[in-house]
């Protein structure tokens, strides 16, 4: 794929010190006056969340007769589809996809996927932080309370490391933000077989300060490597080299020192490429809320840093959306992980029962379902998409910021009460610069339906969609195939609950059929 990347110096020439204030000024920026870029700069926003949604509450109810069944080739078997425009806009698509998704423009840029399964071979997924790596929970029960992902690394890291994606190191290769503590475990790589979780910024204040740390009104950051940092890193390496040779360190100690050396090398690389990263943006003006710490379940409450109220939560989520939009405009990052766990109870009602109890409610008993709580997050995702869609991409030759991006919403399991492996609630918005077809309900459940013990039908590997996203970002197969169970990317076992994925033995490392434009 031919791409042209615009560095910040070029961007500076185009936008030069414009003061961004959100909202409403974003939509008023005179992008037509910018230097005309050529090519497409792609971006990806990954939005994982805790708990699943029972299928009936997430997926549109579709008469089978409406589904298209023309398979282009053998690998497309059991991928059915129908345009989302065929659904009435008079009512919501589902409990969790509420009025925001009735917007015909947004629907036209959205895909909803049913029948994407975690093919880990286990009976159920239970909780896992492996949603962005195509893996399920670790075999080590004690690891991260049993949620530790089995293999590889999450795709945000894989994408950000790829020279096919970033031609130079940006200020923030992956922007990881979260509404609160439990949204912070989705991004990881691996060290000595154990998942190494990446830091998230919790709350809007921390994210804002980090993203715009080097952005001053009308004052572009200095370019070129910082000589002090270069000196410091050289000194650290010299110290570490001396320590590594000591006979009084053990093999375990040496691993720590080796890791330190590797990390310093990585930072050196970033420092040395800083000459291309002078941003031309100004800090947006936002009414910031809190930096989160403490009990992740505390809710509702006041803005005191340990718990949030409804109003402040909504403001915070809107701020996080605006931070993402501006980070893209400033080209501070092109990869975002937006983890969420702040979705219990109060944002959608005055219900105040314990979140843990409530989150395991599948709708059969309580007044609210998890699907309704996911709706709270999904509405913000829809809002983010609309904001991105309102802004022409200043770094690309065409399309909006949304058009050149892909937003993925996914969850750690399917049906919430059963913690099912089947039909993980999944949708994407945006075409990633024309890579994806959009505007479809895509049904990947195998035919004939094979009901399992939890009354959900077996589908196909959900990791194929992650592969599609990586390919959409320009990655080659060799860049992700080793991040898995030895059989390719992610996790693939043929059987689950007595059902079989044997149809996909030869294709589970392929991108998802049908959706490539």
Partner 1 sequence: MPFFQNCSGGFKSKSTDLYSTAGESSEILNGKAIYQQKCAACHGAIESSTKLGRSANQISAAVQNISQMSMFAGSLSAEDMNLIAKALNANAPAQGVKFACVDPNDTGVSQILRLDKDQYINSLTDIFGTAIVNSLAVQLGGLSNDDTRIGSIAMTTITDDQISAYMDVAMAIAQAVTASDSQTSNVFGACALATTPTSACVDTYLTGKAVKILRRPLTSDEMTEARTVVNGSGTYRSNLAKILASHLQSPSFLLRMELGTGNEDTPVFNLTPYEVASRISYATTDSTPDDTLLAAAKNNKLVSTADIDAQVRRLFATARGKAKIHSMFRNWLLQLAGVDTAGLPAGLTAGIELKGLSDAIMSETDQFIDYIVFEKNLGYKDLLTSKVSFASHAGLASIYGHAPLNGSYVPGAQTAQFDGRRQGLLMRASYLVAPKSRTNLVSRGVRFRRQVMCQDLPDPDAAAVAARNTLEPTEAEAQLLTSRQYITQMTNSAVCLSCHSKINPTGFAFENFDPLGRIRTSEQIYNSSGTYLRSLAVDSSAAVPTFDDQTLNVPDAYDLVSQVAGSQDGPACFARQTLRYFNQRQEGQKDACVLNSIFSNLTKANASIMDAFVASVANSVTGVRRKGN
- End-to-end CA separation in angstroms for the chain: 14
Q: Work out which of 12, 249, 303, 348 binds partner 1, going by CB under 8 A.
A: 249
Q: How far is the CB of 189 from partner 1 (least distance, A)?
A: 9
| Identity of the residue, 270 or 396, whose beta carbon is nearer to partner 1 in the bound complex | 270
Q: Work out which of 39, 83, 122, 225 binds partner 1, going by CB under 8 A.
A: 122
| Identity of the residue, 148 or 490, whose beta carbon is nearer to partner 1 in the bound complex | 148
Which residues, in sequence order, are bridge partners of residue 216? Answer: 219
Phi-psi region at 486: left, alpha or beta (left = phi > 0; alpha = psi -120 to 50): left
SS (H, E, C) 236-291: HHHHHHHHHCCCCCCHHHHHHHHHHHHHHHHHHHHHHCHHHCCCCCCCCCCCCCCC
Q: How far is the CB of 389 from partner 1 (least distance, A)?
A: 30
Binding of residue 243 to partner 1 (CB under 8 A) = yes
| Identity of the residue, 299 or 409, whose beta carbon is nearer to partner 1 in the bound complex | 299
Phi, psi of 396 (to 5 degrees): -120, 165
Q: Work out which of 32, 36, 252, 502 binds partner 1, going by CB under 8 A.
A: 252
Q: Please report, as residue ranges, which positions from 351 to 370 form the binding site for partner 1 (by CB under 8 A).
A: 351-354, 357-358, 364-367
Binding of residue 239 to partner 1 (CB under 8 A) = yes
| Choices 60-68, 74-82, 249-257, 479-487; region in contact with partner 1 by CB under 8 A | 249-257
How far is Cα 496 from Cα 476, in angstroms, rounded to an integer? 29
| Identity of the residue, 27 or 295, whose beta carbon is nearer to partner 1 in the bound complex | 295
- CA 148 vs. chain centroid, Å, equals 18
What are the angstrom distances between the C-alpha of 23 and each of 28, 107, 287? Answer: 10, 23, 11
Answer whether 483's CB lies under 8 Å from 490's CB. yes
Q: Which helix (H) or strand (E) holds 176?
A: strand 175-178
Residue 205, both tokens: 């204040």
Binding of residue 305 to partner 1 (CB under 8 A) = no
Q: Please report, as residue ranges, which positions from 389 to 428 form the binding site for partner 1 (by CB under 8 A).
A: 417-419
How far is Cα 135 from Cα 138, in angstroms, rounded to an integer? 9
Place of tokens 């710490």: 293
Q: Work out which of 124, 159, 278, 290 binds partner 1, going by CB under 8 A.
A: 124
Q: How far is the CB of 419 from partner 1 (least distance, A)?
A: 6
- DSSP letter assigned to residue 484: B
Answer whether 491's CB lies under 8 Å from 120's CB. yes
Count the residues in the chain.
517
Q: Please report, as residue ranges, which positions from 177 to 206 form the binding site for partner 1 (by CB under 8 A).
A: 184, 191-192, 194, 196-201, 205-206
Q: How far is the CB of 331 from partner 1 (least distance, A)?
A: 19
Going by their DSSP bridges, the two strands 175-178 and 194-197 should be labelled as: unpaired
**Is omega for the bond preceding 300 within 30 degrees of 0, making it cis?**
yes
- CA 43 vs. chain centroid, Å, equals 11
* Share in percent of the chain as helix, strand, coil (round to 5): 30, 15, 55
Q: Work out which of 13, 167, 246, 476 binds partner 1, going by CB under 8 A.
A: 246
Binding of residue 502 to partner 1 (CB under 8 A) = no
Q: How far is the CB of 264 from partner 1 (least distance, A)?
A: 6
Give the E-state strand segments of 343-493 in sequence order. 405-411, 426-429, 440-443, 460-461
Binding of residue 259 to partner 1 (CB under 8 A) = yes
Binding of residue 455 to partner 1 (CB under 8 A) = no
Q: Please report, as residue ranges, which positions from 132 to 151 form the binding site for partner 1 (by CB under 8 A).
A: 137, 141-142, 145-146
| Identity of the residue, 237 or 477, whose beta carbon is nearer to partner 1 in the bound complex | 237
Q: Please report, as residue ranges, which positions from 98 to 117 form the binding site for partner 1 (by CB under 8 A).
A: none
**Radius of gyration of the chain from Cα atoms?**
23
| Identity of the residue, 167 or 194, whose beta carbon is nearer to partner 1 in the bound complex | 194
Size of the site for partner 1 (CB under 8 A): 74
| Identity of the residue, 110 or 171, whose beta carbon is nearer to partner 1 in the bound complex | 171
How far is Cα 279 from Cα 267, in angstroms, rounded to an integer? 19
How far is Cα 427 from Cα 423, in angstroms, rounded to an integer? 11
Q: Please report, as residue ranges, which positions from 315 to 354 form the binding site for partner 1 (by CB under 8 A).
A: 351-354
| Choices 118-126, 315-323, 435-443, 463-471; region in contact with partner 1 by CB under 8 A | 118-126
Exposure pattern of 5-28 as b/e (b: 16+ CB <10 Å)? bbbbebbbebbeebebebeeebee
Q: Work out which of 27, 255, 476, 506 binds partner 1, going by CB under 8 A.
A: 255
Count of C-beta atoms within a 10 Å radius of residue 91: 9
Binding of residue 29 to partner 1 (CB under 8 A) = no
- DSSP letter assigned to residue 182: G
Q: Work out which of 7, 21, 126, 273 binds partner 1, going by CB under 8 A.
A: 126
| Identity of the residue, 176 or 334, whose beta carbon is nearer to partner 1 in the bound complex | 176
Binding of residue 311 to partner 1 (CB under 8 A) = no
Q: Work out which of 15, 84, 125, 175 binds partner 1, going by CB under 8 A.
A: 125
Q: Please report, as residue ranges, which positions from 274 to 303 form the binding site for partner 1 (by CB under 8 A).
A: 291, 295, 297-298, 300-301
Binding of residue 240 to partner 1 (CB under 8 A) = yes
Q: How far is the CB of 90 from partner 1 (least distance, A)?
A: 31
| Identity of the residue, 83 or 122, whose beta carbon is nearer to partner 1 in the bound complex | 122
Of the candidates 79, 77, 90, 83, the one whose C-alpha atom is nearest the C-alpha of residue 62 is 83
Binding of residue 266 to partner 1 (CB under 8 A) = yes
């Amino acid at each position: 794929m031919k791409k042209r990347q615009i560095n910040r110096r070029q961007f500076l020439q185009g936008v030069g010190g414009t003061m961004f204030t959100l909202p409403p000024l974003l939509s008023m920026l005179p992008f037509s006056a910018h230097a005309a870029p050529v090519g497409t700069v792609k971006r990806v926003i990954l939005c994982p969340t805790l708990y699943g949604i029972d299928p009936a509450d997430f997926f549109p109810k579709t008469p089978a007769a409406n589904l298209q069944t023309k398979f282009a080739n053998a690998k497309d078997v059991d991928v059915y589809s129908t345009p989302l425009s065929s659904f009435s806009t008079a009512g919501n698509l589902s409990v969790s996809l509420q009025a925001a998704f009735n917007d015909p423009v947004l629907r036209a840029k959205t895909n909803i996927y049913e029948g994407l399964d975690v093919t880990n071979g286990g009976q159920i997924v239970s909780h896992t932080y492996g949603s962005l790596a195509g893996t399920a929970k670790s075999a080590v029960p004690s690891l991260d309370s049993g949620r530790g992902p089995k293999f590889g690394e999450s795709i945000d890291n894989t994408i950000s490391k790829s020279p096919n994606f970033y031609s130079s190191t940006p200020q923030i290769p992956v922007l990881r933000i979260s509404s609160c503590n439990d949204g912070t475990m989705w991004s990881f790589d691996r060290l000595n077989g154990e998942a190494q979780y990446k830091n998230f910024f919790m709350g809007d204040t921390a994210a804002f300060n980090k993203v715009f740390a080097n952005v001053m009104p009308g004052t572009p950051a200095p370019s070129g490597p910082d000589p002090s940092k270069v000196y410091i890193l050289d000194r650290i390496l010299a110290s570490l080299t001396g320590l590594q040779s000591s006979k009084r360190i053990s093999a375990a100690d040496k691993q720590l020192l080796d890791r330190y050396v590797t990390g310093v090398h990585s930072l050196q690389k970033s420092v040395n490429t800083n000459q291309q990263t002078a941003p031309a943006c100004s800090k947006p003006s936002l009414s910031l809320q809190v930096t989160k710490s403490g009990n992740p379940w505390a809710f509702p409450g006041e803005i005191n840093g340990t718990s949030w109220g409804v109003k402040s939560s909504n403001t915070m989520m809107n701020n996080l959306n605006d931070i993402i939009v501006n980070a893209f405009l400033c080209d501070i990052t092109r990869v975002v992980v937006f983890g969420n766990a702040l979705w219990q109870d109060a944002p959608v009602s005055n219900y105040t029962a314990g979140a843990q109890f409530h989150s395991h409610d599948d709708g059969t008993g309580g007044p609210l379902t998890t699907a309704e709580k996911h709706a709270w997050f999904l509405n913000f995702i829809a809002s983010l998409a609309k904001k991105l869609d309102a802004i022409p991409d200043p770094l690309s030759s065409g399309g909006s910021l949304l058009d050149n991006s892909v937003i993925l919403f996914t969850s750690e399991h399917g049906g919430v009460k059963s913690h099912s492996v089947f039909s993980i609630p999944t949708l994407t918005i945006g075409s990633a610069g024309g890579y994806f077809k959009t505007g479809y309900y895509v049904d990947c459940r195998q035919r004939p339906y094979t009901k399992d013990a939890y009354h959900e039908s077996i589908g196909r590997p959900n990791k194929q969609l992650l592969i599609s996203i990586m390919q959409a970002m320009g990655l080659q197969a060799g860049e992700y195939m080793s991040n898995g169970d030895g059989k390719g990317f992610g996790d693939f076992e043929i059987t689950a609950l007595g059902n079989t994925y044997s149809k996909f033995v030869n294709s589970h490392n392929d991108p998802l059929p049908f959706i490539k434009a």
